[in-house]
Structure formats: structure tokens, C-alpha cells
Amino acid sequence: MKNYRLSYAPILLLVLSAGTSPATAQVAPAADAGNKIPPALEYYKGREIAQTMHFAGAPWLTRESRDREEDCNKLLRELKLEQGQSVCDMGCGNGFYTLRIAKRVGPKGQVYAVDIQPEMLSLLNERAKADRIHNVKPILGTVVDPLLPPESCDVILCVDVYHEFSHPEQMLAAMRKALKPRGRLVLVEFRMEDPQVPIKIEHKMSKEQILKELPPNGFKLVQQFDGLPWQHVMWFEKDEPK
């Protein structure tokens, strides 16, 4: 099987300007330009940080074979989302999971769809409009802050995206603030432990590496699931000081 994500060019933070995207009216403003963003990391705790997937590769996210290869419906079942919940799809891309989550939390629920590329949010808006889904709020985040409201999320879902964060500590701190007191951060990552998973190495993460990164940043592991074909799933809650 071929390796994926081999041809995507690195991107800089893209700032939404008026008239560039149908998402303009619904997207939260980017961070104050006066707030300087520190240099991007190339490595974090011994791990090479992967390049962000460019919006030109968005069709790969909705490829016909994805459900079969990753068993996406099984992941959604394991998340046990409930009607009325508030869920963030972090690094939502063109909305492959966003729209499915929106249907599961229902019209009284809320889905925050965060991405740093306005083009991705434009693609998401088009798909949401076609499916007549109205409980999705696109947010144009930055590489250091997803711009989520404080204590707003029951679940923050990161599917194959955390390993691309160029500023992991700032993002983890921001996501921690956005979780409700019993909210959960869910990491879904391609298994580094399995050489048969046909993904480029820097787009994989081992459980050992994840546990090097999350607990020192204020999270505790509360649940795991290993029943997906290519990925492991790890649930974290805020580790409150005692």
C-alpha cells in the first residue's frame, strides 16, 4: 500500500481576509496581529513535528476508502457522543468528521470546527450547506490558539492532527482552558508501533510518545481503545492540582 501525506507542502498561518471565502461571515477572527507568535518547533520531546496538510490535499480526507481503511463509524461509536453536547473537531479540514458529529449531537448540540486554513473552512461550509446542517460553527484558529470559548467543550476531538501542531504546548494549554470541568480531549493517531500502517513516520505517534507530551501539560489518561485498523484512541481529562 502506498504512503499517504507525502506530497503536501508546508504552509504558513493563513489569515482570512474579507471576500476570500464563503465562510467569512461565520468564522471567528484570527488572533490580534500584535501578539507575536513564537517560532515553530521542528521537534518536541524527541519527536519530529509533521508538516500541516495543505488544503489542496483535502480530497484525501473524504476518499471513498477511508471508512474501510480506518473504520470511522467504529470510532464514532466509541466516542459515545450524546445529543446536546458541545464538541470541537480540531483541525476539521473539509469536515469529514464534523458533519457526522453534528448529526450525533443534534440540533441542540454545538460543533466547533477549527482549522487554520480558511480554504478548508470554505470547503466545510459548502458541505454543511449541502447537507442542511446548521449546528456547526467554523473557527479560523491560529497555530497557538484554536480560539475556543473558555470551558465550552464536552469533547475536543483531534483525529490525525495533534502531531502536526507546530506549537504543541500553547495548543494544549488553550485546549485545556476550552474543556468543561469533566470534558475530554481525545487523540486519534496512526500507530507508530505498527510498521504495517501505511503512513509516513512523522504522521504517526506511539502511545509512549503521547504520554511524554500530554501529562506534563496538565492532562491525565483516562481511557484507551485499540480496536481500529490503523489508529489508537486515547482519552484525556484535565489533571487538576491537588
Nearest alpha-carbon partner for 175 in 204, 155, 201, 195: 155
Measured between alpha carbons, how far is 111 from 106 in angstroms, rounded to an integer?
10
Measured between alpha carbons, how far is 107 from 127 in angstroms, rounded to an integer?
17
Helix ranges (DSSP H) in the chain: 66-70, 72-79, 98-105, 118-130, 168-178, 207-213
Place of cell 464538541: 87
Quote the pLDDT of residue 229: 97
Residue 235 is which amino acid?
Answer: W
Quote the pLDDT of residue 35: 66
Grid coordinates representing 197? 500502517
Phi and psi, residue 209, nearest 5°: -70, -40
Give the Cβ contact number of residue 202 at 10 Å.
Answer: 15
Quote the pLDDT of residue 65: 94
Domains by residue range for the chain, with CATH: 72-238 (3.40.50.150)
CA angle 203, 207, 211 (to 5 degrees): 110
Q: What residues in the chain have per-residue pLDDT under 70?
A: 1-35, 242
